[in-house]
Chains A and B, each alone.
Chain A
Amino acid sequence: MTALAVADPPSEAVAAVDGYVQTEGGLHRLHLMVDGVHCGGCVRRIERALAADPAVESARVNLTTRRLTVAWRGPEELAGHLLRTLADLGFRAVPYDPAQLATAEDAAERQLLRAMAVAGFAAANVMLLSVSVWAGHAQGMGEATRALLHWFSALIALPAIVYAGRPFFASAWQALRRGRTNMDVPITVGLVLAAAMSLFETVRGGEHAYFDSAVMLLFFLLIGRYLDRRARGRARGTAARLLALNAEAVTVLDADGRARALPARQAVPGMVVLVATGERIGVDGRVVDGTSEVDTSLITGETLARPVGPGEVVFAGTLNHGAPLRLAVSAAGEDTLLAEIVRLMELAEQRRARYVVLADRVARRYAPVVHGLALATFLGWTLFAGLAWQTALLYAVAVLIITCPCALGLAVPVVQVIASGRLLQGGSLLKSPTALERLAEIDTVVFDKTGTLSRGAPALQDTAALDPEALRRAAALAGASRHPLARALCAAAPAVPLARGVEEMPGRGLRWVGPDGEVRVGSRAWCGIADPHDSTLPELWLSVPDQAPVRFAFEDSLREDAAEVVAALEARGLEVELLSGDRAPAVAAVAARLGIARWRAGCTPADKSARLAELAREGLRALMVGDGLNDGPALAAAHVSLSPSSAIDIAQNAADAVFQGARLQPVLELLDVARRADRLIKQNLALALTYNLFALPLAVLGQVTPLIAALCMSASSLVVVGNALRLGRRRAA
């Protein structure tokens, strides 16, 4: 019994709270990352439960970022109590320092939104004034009135450009400093020259000022830029999530047998650690005492629990299902296999960050051409046509304004926003801004087996052949256990009332004493069976007095449309490959059923990652679909990657897109939408360039007035947006 008392999991987060509570005037504030918040219901349950404590002043969950801020008065130690309240509700919370997590991304998005608001305000008001000026040109407005209106425009436009143009100026400056050019360079040059020249014209009382074009351009571009950022979805940093995994405490047994909680990374090789039933193992180590089953899905991707006994090695991040275990620590913190996998992943992610998006590739060619043309216009008019340099400069600036890549700036983000909106309806979430572009380029698809092609959870086999009465009896007992096989049994026999007074013997099975004797559900040994019929499949047995024992076999079944999807991918001319950490016979069987010719079994995380690097060296562009931590490095190393939403957080973080549901069909949908989006983006770029081809001669000849510039720019932007909207429609075929 003493062992059980010690086996109580340490109140992990309580120890870690120290240093995270911020106190200000008697009010304590704690920021927490909460695992498992999915919907408004979770938000409400958490907020209500915390607010029920009279000391709590406020508790607010942010559903977008899955973070909780709680403030209370009274003793600081209440933090531990609050965390236990959360744990009782079934939410694991980890404190964080908001100053550390206030990412540059968030700040940038806010700045863009503010800039967009300012640009929108300026664009509307300047346009109002400009319409008066254009009307005045037709009706003979007095010069003084026109000058007044121009001055007003300048008053609004110049500060707005200085403020709202900063995202572009900063990015252009950075590119130029590194000796490169990007889309923002021509934008910046166009904006600055347009503003400067308009100011010059206003000062000398000229007829045309381009303030409206400049601000409108800025507004459209900011819309494009903001949409671009929003399209990235809820990508959250891998680091923040890992922190949650590593923050767990371990129970260390001292030489005199006393237990104390210690942060996992402070454990030292040689220490003896106690792992309770249901607890996640915090260190790498060797089992000293106890036999149990360990869920290693996080490391190997294998969902069926692995039996372990004295002398066997277990890894940090795995889950102890059966009975309490004592481990001799072999590695902790940064030295564990888990940390090693994470390092592999970060390395691979850095390699991929070098991808250059299509829009930037276009811009790199586009910018020099446009600037060359503007210069040629200026030189041509001054040298050969003998125009005054002011007028020639005016024409040159008009060239820059008209060719400023307004439509180019919208061409890509609008398509991406519509594509991701459509995918979201189908249950797929795009996380990387370049995911669509990269998806459209792939020629190879690499699948993981467990959890990706298969459901990742054991399911009862041959339900039809089983005696329904036996199934009902077994399920009545199994409902009392949280063991994966017991849960699978219950899932196969829903609506069976639970038996009362079921006893669970961890690692062995369940026992219930009924009117006709003792009923047992559990392992072969627990039910006292000497059945020669051996099987590699996991199984449960039911033994009822005076009846033959019944065997329930379980298998991780394939997703129902896996074969169809694999066939459809091959029909699209893609190579399909299977990489699994599982044993060869199991992988071979799955490959044969799905018709996959190329497969590898027994892959470690490093093997998978290496295979993808090998594919990349052969010049192939691979899509990796995987769900486990063991797939993490491979997901990061692939040209583009997908995860089912049932995947662990780290895999979801490494993946470029996440799909929901029990079917594999979203993979096809993602591919098809990506290919259509790619076509539309290229069409849009072509449209934007065609427009420039028509407008450019007008500008070079000095025929572009502000009115024509405004009309051209709006028209080209509308055409591009309109073309992108076609993606939202259901496909006719």
Chain B
Amino acid sequence: VSILAWLIPLALALGALGLGAFLWALRSGQFDDLDGAAERILFDDD
């Protein structure tokens, strides 16, 4: 059972990592222009 003491915090840390990544992406404006992002992938320069 003592393995729980490791596994639970580990699971939580991994989840928190994902949450942090999402919140960072949101803050840095990556969700601001979803329509534009879909079009930009087709530009062949930049």
Contacts and interface: CB of A to CB of B under 8 A. Distances in A.
Chain A bound to chain B: yes
Interface in A65-114: 65, 110, 113-114
A125 interface: yes
A62 interface: yes
A673 interface: no
B39 A118 contact: no
Interface string A56-68: 0000011111000
Given A64-B33, A65-B33, A121 B19 contact: yes
Contacts of B4: 145, 148
A62 B11 CA distance: 37
A113 B12 contact: no
A43 interface: yes
A117 B32 contact: no
B39 A63 contact: yes
A255 B8 CA distance: 84
18 contacts: A43-B36, A43-B39, A43-B40, A64-B32, A64-B33, A64-B34, A113-B26, A113-B31, A117-B23, A117-B26, A121-B15, A125-B15, A128-B11, A129-B8, A148-B4, A152-B8, A152-B12, A156-B12
Interface in A152-208: 152, 156
A124 B12 CA distance: 10
Contacts of A128: 11
A62 B19 contact: no
A583 interface: no
A114 to B, nearest CB: 6
B31 to A, nearest CB: 7
Given A114-B26, A117-B22, A129-B8, A64 B16 contact: no
A1 interface: no
Contacts of B36: 40, 43, 61-64
Interface string B1-38: 10010001001100110110011001000011111101
B44 to A, nearest CB: 10
A43 B36 CA distance: 8
Interface of B: 1, 4, 8, 11-12, 15-16, 18-19, 22-23, 26, 31-36, 38-40, 42-43, 45
A39 interface: yes
A121 B16 CA distance: 7
A726 interface: no
A663 to B, nearest CB: 25
Contact of A62 (B8, B18, B33): B33
Given A64-B35, A65-B33, 18 more contacts: A40-B38, A40-B42, A44-B43, A62-B33, A63-B35, A64-B32, A64-B33, A113-B26, A117-B19, A117-B23, A118-B19, A121-B15, A124-B15, A125-B12, A128-B11, A129-B8, A145-B1, A156-B12
A47 to B, nearest CB: 8
Interface of A is mostly: helix
Contacts of A61: 36
A398 B8 CA distance: 28
Interface string A432-461: 000000000000000000000000000000
A115 to B, nearest CB: 11
Considering the complex of A and B, which 8 residue pairs feature the smallest CB-CB distances, nearest first? A40-B39, A63-B36, A121-B19, A62-B33, A63-B35, A64-B35, A64-B33, A117-B22
B2 to A, nearest CB: 11
Nearest to A128: B11
Nearest to B42: A40
A65 B35 CA distance: 9
A148 B9 CA distance: 12
B6 to A, nearest CB: 13
A39 B1 CA distance: 58
Contacts of B32: 62, 64
B17 to A, nearest CB: 10
A145 to B, nearest CB: 6
A527 to B, nearest CB: 47
Nearest to B32: A62
Contacts of B45: 48
A388 B33 CA distance: 56
Nearest to A145: B1
A703 to B, nearest CB: 30
A61 B1 CA distance: 55
A462 to B, nearest CB: 43
Contacts of A152: 8, 12
B23 A114 contact: yes
Contacts of B16: 121
A113 B24 CA distance: 12
A65 B36 CA distance: 10
A110 B43 contact: no
Nearest to A156: B12
B13 to A, nearest CB: 10
B34 A121 contact: no
A44 B36 CA distance: 10
A117 B18 CA distance: 9
A43 B43 CA distance: 10
Contacts of B40: 40, 43
Interface string A117-134: 110010011001100000
B7 to A, nearest CB: 10
